[in-house]
Structure 1
Amino acid sequence: MAKDVSSRSDVDRFFADFDLGPVEQVSSGDFYFNSYSHREAYEELLKDEVHQEAYRTAILANKHLFRDRVVLVVECGLGLAPYLVAEAGAKTVLAQEKNLIGRHIPRIARLNGHDNIVSVLGDIADPDFALPYGLSEVDVIVSEPMGYLLLHESRIRDVIVARDRFLKPGGKMFPSRFTMNLCAVAAPQEHSLWMDFWEDVQGFDFSDPCQRLTMGTPLISAASQLGSDKDHSSEDAWQRSQLTSTPAELFAIDLMTAPPDVTTRPEFLCGEFELFPRPESGLDEEDTDTPDAHWWRADERSCTDLQHRVDALVVWFDVKFDHAHVPVEYSTGPEAPWTLWQQTILRLPPPSFTGTGAPDCRLDASAMLQPGRTLRGRMALRQASADRRDIDIKLSMEDGRGGSINTLSSFGARCEPLKLFTMLIDPVFVRLPVVDIARAELRLHGNDTTSVLRLRLLLERLQCRSSVAAGSIHSACLHDGRAYTFGTGTSGQLGHGVFRDEPRPLLVASLNHRTVAAVACGDRHTLFLCTPGVVFGTGRNTFGQLASDDLRDFPSPRKIDVEVPSSTPIDVRCGGDHSMVLLANGHVVAFGWNAFGQLGIGVSAFGASPVAAVSSPTLVHPPAPGIRFVSVSCGFAHSLFLSDSGRVYSCGMGSHGQLGNNDRSHRWVPTFIPTIDRCTMVSCGGHHSLVLCDPLGEVYAFGSGSTGKLGRGDDMGDSAIPVKVSGQLPPVASVCCGGAHSLVITRYNSALYGFGMGRRGQLGDGQRRSHPLPTGPVASGVQCMAGGGYHTIAALDSGGIIVFGRSTRGQLGLGFVEDVSVPWPLELPVHELHDSVS
């Protein structure tokens, strides 16, 4: 029979058997901390592979900063940090944790053999708190202070208090910096769900005020991880293809310099932003699982004329360990793999929303994020009260033509907005746009004397029976002066006179009467250089990348007039949606998308402000009088230039360090990279760059390091300065960047090596996985190569062509859609050419 515990005395006696003691009276602050005393809160964080791997790499790759040091781990909970620090060789680890979960730390330390190193401390904010063992300072502080939207439930204040009280001069912070970022997102269906529910709640109308509350309350969600082996999506999950602008950084928090009240003073957590239309990509959603894949593409069945609305802003933070000798960082953004923090959605009002207190201000949506226009704004955050879950978010935006939004939202306990929309705006339409691709680069053999660089460039082309080019999902090759294209052709980029795909190489018939000397592929456009110096272009022209004011797509090659007196075009290059033509006099003309300055034309050519798109060939701004360029390369939104003196210049987007100038700013004119010289080749990828230097044939890489495409081994962080590619790589003769992978040809045997992303087989080693160091050789006798979005094409000394990588859109020209992870011979229909000639 069950024991009768119905009476009060029986209940007391029942619990007395467990000796729990009296009911504890706790303050609201203690209640907050003790709310994290349960296992589940830490189990979720421990299962966050991205977060845990970043901390593991940052600590264990910088053991020299921890060895024989005193390390304070602030608010460590059940995290791995104390034990990783102990593994790194720390002399003393002070694991500070205020809540009740801290009592388990000694047991875990003992289980792992670190009980003589790890000690547990209490409330560091207590004025009477002191370090044990007579210590007065520590060498390193490790913390995990982030929460949703960085500040929600954040403990940044505690970390700064610990820094000010105990970190010795010259000490290190792990992590050292956070950056807040945002991007526009289209969510028409989600908007309907957010709003329509309240109009009929079991037969009752809750629309006002609940619709206003919904619009004013941030939403925690995450981009669907398509292609991931883990499904973290929920009913609120959205697709990466819904992003409709380029990302913008709002502000940064440097834990080494931030004041103690940084989280409560909005002037520190405030930033202005400018959102550019995201160029339409040619890559599918399933391929967008890398931090640098700005390649989201809208489902063409669900959008009109490739335009998307802006219904919300998605906000996220990045974590950086950049004070370490080996820097590490990770992102919680939609471009990156899933993390516990996901992203925060700030919903904007739909056009029909006219709730109480919100005037109906209907504005022309066409005035907003169209090509050549931007959406500017300002956002500020603050922790609004002693409750760490409480955040105020102030947002204002304007389009430069009278349209604006001004909101104040609250995140957390005070969910009732203090003030809602003072002006409304219709959902904004933006034209999607880009990606990138690397181009086929020419080998430059021999010595590095400046007098022969241009000659070698021309001789290589004359000696090459076949040359190749790769776009995001289409390809081109030249054989005996004839051009063949294959892959996706829905924008006319194949030049066959129709808007359709081609699974096998097909002769570009309209150029059959000409000799084609060079070809370059962009995201959805293609350039051909025909002798004697005549340029043709086909495909997408949204940003004037075909040098036409008529911004429609062209399915057949059209002549591009490059009107530069006394000079002849000798080479062509395509970026994501921009184009460049190299002239025999060492000058370069550029046209197309210019939102980040990737054309290198500066601002003087078009007045006092930069121009986001240029449809007429414009001379690239020379870095100095007398500088002559011998080679150029174009990436997603940046460009590299090689001068006849072996110097390298860069311009365009620099957010990943791909300009090599030791910062992450954008440059509107070619800027000298001072840390490398005697260079013979340059190549741009999506968000990374490769440079080849003589006389040793060494390769230097910079920019985005995700998936290992910088070739630095376990270090996959970004690099804003050129770093030498690691591994057992013989002297190199040629380099080439793909969208997320890198390729090199060695001087001896012309062997092909690759590194970076390889899951679609684009490295050709048969393994379908990424390699952070050069792998190969996968082929020998390679004359030139090109890296596309997720595929590779190479021409051989024998005159043959090999392909490998992604094949789902016909970009390998093999006639089937299965990916190929080893070199596969490509057959050209040369018999058709002979028949047509005869």
Structure 2
Amino acid sequence: MGSTGNGFAGDRAATIRGGTVVDKDVDFANYFCTYGFLYHQKEMLCDRVRMDSYYNAVFDNKHHFDGKTVLDVGTGSGILAIWAGQAGARKVYAVEATKMSEHARKLVKANNLQDVVEVIEGSIEDVTLPEKVDVIISEWMGYFLLRESMFDSVICARDRWLKPTGVMYPSNARMWLAPMRSRLADQKMSDHEGAMGDWFCFLDETKTNYGVDMSVLTKPFSEEQKKYYLQTSLWNNLHPNQVVGTAAIIKEIDCLTVTVNDILNVRASISSSISAEETRLCGFAGWFDVHFRGSKENPAQQEIELTTAPSEDYSTHWGQQVFLLHPPISVSKGDDLNINFSMDRSKQNHRLMEVELSCEIKQTSGKLLLPFRNKFYIE
């Protein structure tokens, strides 16, 4: 979730730049179809943080759009393309992979921009434009920034169609990680224990009533439930007081220069310090921010930030990605955490992610707690 559908290459299959071969029809069925529904577009259009950030980025920096050519990658409802046109763009190419393009055309015409905004249905890897563009604008961010792998398509568009002097909207992105506390950890552990208790009742009843011993399936069932309840990361909107330590950047991206290979995996070794008094370390929260800065040669007149960090005042449809520990660990103010983080694309689905997270905790007393390593799935 987070951006309008776009991005597969080839006639029947596309070789993703990580070596994963993806069938075009399967990818469309699993991913793009969601973005073809107005209810999903409405959810994103109701995200005030998202909308205000892009609106301000465009209209506070009209010099990037006035009289210029613009490419909107994954236009969805067409809102960004319409804003670019209202900001004075000479021509806007709005590319959308789904039938949402039909709604986008109606909106463009209803806002009297049909002579400026051209909606093109197709994947950005396949379409051909008649000219290079001055600006590429796209809302490509998924959960924890990189889920959905739509940024691949934006990079493809940049390499094919952006002028050497062109700018990217957004221009920069960052991923953050911080220690957190949450009752979700207890809830998910309870849910897991309940599922396993139900399984053992099922075994007894099946053997008693039907004479079949199914206990040989206990191990795979247990692994399945462990992944579902304990290892699958969760979407959540956290309150700032649930963040119990300093946040650290685990990835910085320059949208003008980054390559697909640069984002196939994320590796970071970071440090954090517990800032709350006696509390529980229940896991780690991940979020992102993006910035609209223009380029070094053509900077923004007004830099805009869109952040999905925990806040008292707002929430976004992205929220934060939560990686829970089972069981939680007691920590105190001043304890130091050394964290190793890695994230790779799932081998089964290149739009999903697998995370490995390890941590060493040094208490204020100087005692080292036993290091732990956990695997998580962003699905």
Q: TM-score range by the shorter chain?
A: 0.7 to 0.9
Structure of larger gyration radius? 1
Describe the SS at the equivalent of 1:347: strand
Distance 1:117 1:125 in 2: 19
The aligned runs of 1:72-151 (5 Å cut-off) are 72-127=71-126, 129-131=127-129, 134-135=130-131, 137-151=132-146
Contact 2:271 2:337 in 1 (8 A): yes
Q: Deviations over 1:140-177 (max 9, x none)?
A: 00000011111222410000000001100121000011
The aligned runs of 1:808-819 (5 Å cut-off) are none
Q: Which residue of 1 aligns with 2:282?
A: 311
The reply to whether residue 383 of structure 1 matches residue 348 of structure 2 is no
Contact 2:189 2:326 in 1 (8 A): no
Distance 2:275 2:348 in 1: 39
Q: Which residue of 1 aligns with 2:326?
A: 349
Q: Deviations over 1:709-734 (max 9, x none)?
A: xxxxxxxxxxxxxxxxxxxxxxxxxx
Q: Deviations over 1:787-809 (max 9, x none)?
A: xxxxxxxxxxxxxxxxxxxxxxx
Distance 1:385 1:263 in 2: 15
Distance 1:205 1:339 in 2: 37
Deviation at 1:278, TM superposition (A): 1.8
Distance 2:128 2:305 in 1: 32
Q: Deviations over 1:341-365 (max 9, x none)?
A: 01111011206xxxxxxxxxxxxx6
TM normalised by structure 1 equals 0.37
Contact 1:314 1:346 in 2 (8 A): yes
Q: Which residue of 1 aligns with 2:57?
A: 58
Q: Aligned letter for 1:48? A: D
Distance 1:378 1:97 in 2: 38
Q: Which residue of 1 aligns with 2:236?
A: 221
Count of residues in Structure 1 that have an aligned counterpart in Structure 2: 324
Q: Which residue of 1 aligns with 2:48?
A: 49
Deviation at 1:382, TM superposition (A): 2.5
Deviation at 1:205, TM superposition (A): 4.6
Contact 1:389 1:411 in 2 (8 A): no
Q: Which residue of 1 aligns with 2:269?
A: 272
Describe the SS at the equivalent of 1:113: coil
Structure 1: which 5+ residue stretches go unaligned? 1-24, 224-238, 280-305, 352-364, 413-838
Describe the SS at the equivalent of 1:35: helix
The reply to whether residue 192 of structure 1 matches residue 169 of structure 2 is no
The reply to whether residue 339 of structure 1 matches residue 333 of structure 2 is no
> Kindly tell me: are residues 386 and 140 of structure 1, through their superposed partners in 2, closer, same or farther at Cα, counting changes over 3 Å?
farther
Deviation at 1:124, TM superposition (A): 4.2
Describe the SS at the equivalent of 2:32: helix
Q: Which residue of 1 aligns with 2:258?
A: 258
Contact 2:73 2:124 in 1 (8 A): no
Q: Deviations over 1:691-748 (max 9, x none)?
A: xxxxxxxxxxxxxxxxxxxxxxxxxxxxxxxxxxxxxxxxxxxxxxxxxxxxxxxxxx
Q: Which residue of 2 aligns with 1:27?
A: 25
Distance 2:73 2:189 in 1: 42
> Kindly tell me: are residues 378 and 322 of structure 1, through their superposed partners in 2, closer, same or farther at Cα, counting changes over 3 Å?
farther
The partner residue of 1:403 within 370, 374, 379 is 370
Q: Deviations over 1:608-658 (max 9, x none)?
A: xxxxxxxxxxxxxxxxxxxxxxxxxxxxxxxxxxxxxxxxxxxxxxxxxxx
> Kindly tell me: are residues 278 and 202 of structure 1, through their superposed partners in 2, closer, same or farther at Cα, counting changes over 3 Å?
closer
Distance 2:193 2:176 in 1: 34
The structure, 1 or 2, with the larger RCO (C-alpha pairs under 8 Å, 6+ apart) is: 2
Distance 2:348 2:55 in 1: 32
Contact 2:236 2:320 in 1 (8 A): yes
Contact 1:263 1:383 in 2 (8 A): no
Q: Deviations over 1:356-375 (max 9, x none)?
A: xxxxxxxxx67x6542x410
Q: Aligned letter for 1:276? A: S
> Kindly tell me: are residues 198 and 396 of structure 1, through their superposed partners in 2, closer, same or farther at Cα, counting changes over 3 Å?
closer
Distance 1:60 1:330 in 2: 15
The reply to whether residue 393 of structure 1 matches residue 360 of structure 2 is no
The aligned runs of 1:794-805 (5 Å cut-off) are none
Contact 2:77 2:100 in 1 (8 A): yes
Q: Which residue of 1 aligns with 2:208?
A: none
Contact 1:315 1:345 in 2 (8 A): yes
The partner residue of 2:306 within 322, 326, 330 is 330
Contact 2:93 2:117 in 1 (8 A): yes
Distance 1:155 1:148 in 2: 11
Distance 2:283 2:84 in 1: 41
> Kindly tell me: are residues 257 and 26 of structure 1, through their superposed partners in 2, closer, same or farther at Cα, counting changes over 3 Å?
closer
Contact 2:125 2:157 in 1 (8 A): no
> Kindly tell me: are residues 184 and 26 of structure 1, through their superposed partners in 2, closer, same or farther at Cα, counting changes over 3 Å?
closer
Distance 1:125 1:95 in 2: 10
> Kindly tell me: are residues 202 and 317 of structure 1, through their superposed partners in 2, closer, same or farther at Cα, counting changes over 3 Å?
closer
Describe the SS at the equivalent of 1:55: helix
Describe the SS at the equivalent of 1:328: strand
Q: Which residue of 1 aligns with 2:242?
A: 242
Contact 1:151 1:383 in 2 (8 A): no
Deviation at 1:203, TM superposition (A): 6.0
Report the structure, 1 or 2, having the larger helix content. 2
Q: Which residue of 2 aligns with 1:68?
A: 67
Describe the SS at the equivalent of 2:376: strand
Contact 1:42 1:79 in 2 (8 A): no
Distance 1:221 1:344 in 2: 6
The partner residue of 1:179 within 174, 177, 181 is 174
Q: Which residue of 2 aligns with 1:160?
A: 155
Distance 1:152 1:103 in 2: 26
> Kindly tell me: are residues 333 and 102 of structure 1, through their superposed partners in 2, closer, same or farther at Cα, counting changes over 3 Å?
same
Q: Aligned letter for 1:274? A: S
The aligned runs of 1:354-503 (5 Å cut-off) are 370-371=333-334, 373-385=335-347, 387-400=349-362, 401=368, 403-412=370-379
Deviation at 1:316, TM superposition (A): 0.5
Structure 2: which 5+ residue stretches go unaligned? 1-22, 201-220, 295-299, 363-367
The aligned runs of 1:332-731 (5 Å cut-off) are 332-335=308-311, 337-350=314-327, 370-371=333-334, 373-385=335-347, 387-400=349-362, 401=368, 403-412=370-379
Distance 1:30 1:262 in 2: 25
Distance 2:181 2:189 in 1: 15
The aligned runs of 1:812-827 (5 Å cut-off) are none
Deviation at 1:329, TM superposition (A): 0.3
Contact 1:160 1:260 in 2 (8 A): yes
Q: Aligned letter for 2:192? A: W
Q: Deviations over 1:89-130 (max 9, x none)?
A: 000000011111112222111100101000012334445x31
Q: Deviations over 1:379-431 (max 9, x none)?
A: 1223224735411112121125252122222222xxxxxxxxxxxxxxxxxxx
Identity %: 28
Deviation at 1:49, TM superposition (A): 0.5
